[in-house]
């Protein structure tokens, strides 16, 4: 198995629950990147009150993460792909299901739309691929619970699944979302 794995993706794709289930199955340590950012005095960030988001200085975040990562760590969060993990797993979810998940969080329509559109145009996947190339895979969480997705990822990490099935580009939402 790999030493470090980043679980990234658009908010609502299942990162937190999947990561918790995965560490239970594998014995890895869990590192919540969002908590590290919020609790570190060494990471600079600005809160965007209107969008209810943080704008993070990626360089200072990377430095702090390097200090916190131990052997066998799962880094979880929509910024975790900025770490140089051995494998970057971007969770994906159909726009329709993602919208329902985000509505259950009582987010504004504007924030929901922004995140659904980010998922449709592969924002996080593209960032991850641009940074890490063939270390990136994508896993579709649509219609699956966190245990099922964690099991799928465990099998990937153990080499029981063919990586080609998970290469970037295997999940495509733009046709469904843009053209119905």
> Range with the lowest mean pLDDT among 10-19, 53-62, 83-92, 154-163?
53-62
Task: Please report the pLDDT score of residue 49 as a whole number.
Answer: 79
Read off the pLDDT band of 48 (50, 70, 90): confident
Query: How, if at all, do strands 73-76 and 29-32 pair?
Result: parallel
pTM score above 0.85: yes
Instruction: Identify the band that residue 1 occupies on the pLDDT scale cut at 50, 70 and 90.
Output: confident
Dist CA 30 CA 10 (whole Å): 19
* Any domain includes 165: yes
Please report whether residue 46 resides in a domain.
Answer: no
Average pLDDT score, the chain: 94
Residue 173 in any domain: the answer is: yes
pLDDT > 70: what percent of the chain?
97
Does residue 55 form part of some domain? no
Read off φ and ψ for residue 136, nearest 5 degrees. -100, 135
Residue 28 inside a domain? The answer is yes
Percent of the chain surpassing pLDDT 90: 86
- Please report the pLDDT score of residue 177 as a whole number: 67
Once rounded to an integer, what is the mean pLDDT over residues 29-57? Answer: 87
* Residue 179 pLDDT: 66
Per-residue pLDDT at 157: 96
Q: pLDDT confidence of 31, banded at 50, 70, 90?
A: very high
In this structure, how many other beta carbons lie within 10 angstroms of the beta carbon of residue 59? Answer: 11
Does residue 168 form part of some domain?
A: yes
The pLDDT of residue 136 is: 98
Q: What is the DSSP letter of 45?
A: E
Mean pLDDT, residues 74-84 taken together: 97
Q: Where on the phi/psi map is residue 138: left (φ > 0), alpha (ψ -120 to 50), or beta?
A: beta
In a domain, 174, yes or no: yes
- 47 falls within a domain: no
Per the structure, the complete domain to which residue 94 belongs is given by 4-35+62-179
Specify the pLDDT at position 64. 96
Q: What total of structural domains would you count in the chain?
A: 1
pLDDT at residue number 180: 60
């Amino acid at each position: 198995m790999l030493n470090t794995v980043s679980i990234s993706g658009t908010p609502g794709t299942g990162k937190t629950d999947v990561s918790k289930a995965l560490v239970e199955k594998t014995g890895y340590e869990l590192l919540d990147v969002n908590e590290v950012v919020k609790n570190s005095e060494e990471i600079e960030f600005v809160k965007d009150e209107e969008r209810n988001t943080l704008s993070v200085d990626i360089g200072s975040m990377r430095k702090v993460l390097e200090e916190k990562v131990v052997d066998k760590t799962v880094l979880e969060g929509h910024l975790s792909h900025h770490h140089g993990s051995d494998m970057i797993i971007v969770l994906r979810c159909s726009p329709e299901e993602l919208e329902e998940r985000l509505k259950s969080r009582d987010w504004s329509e504007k924030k929901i739309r922004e995140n659904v559109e980010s998922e449709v145009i592969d924002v996080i996947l593209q960032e991850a691929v641009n940074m890490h190339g063939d270390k990136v895979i994508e896993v579709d969480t649509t219609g699956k619970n966190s245990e099922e997705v964690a099991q799928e990822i465990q099998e990937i990490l153990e080499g029981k699944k063919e990586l080609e099935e998970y290469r970037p580009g295997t999940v495509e939402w733009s046709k469904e979302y843009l053209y119905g």
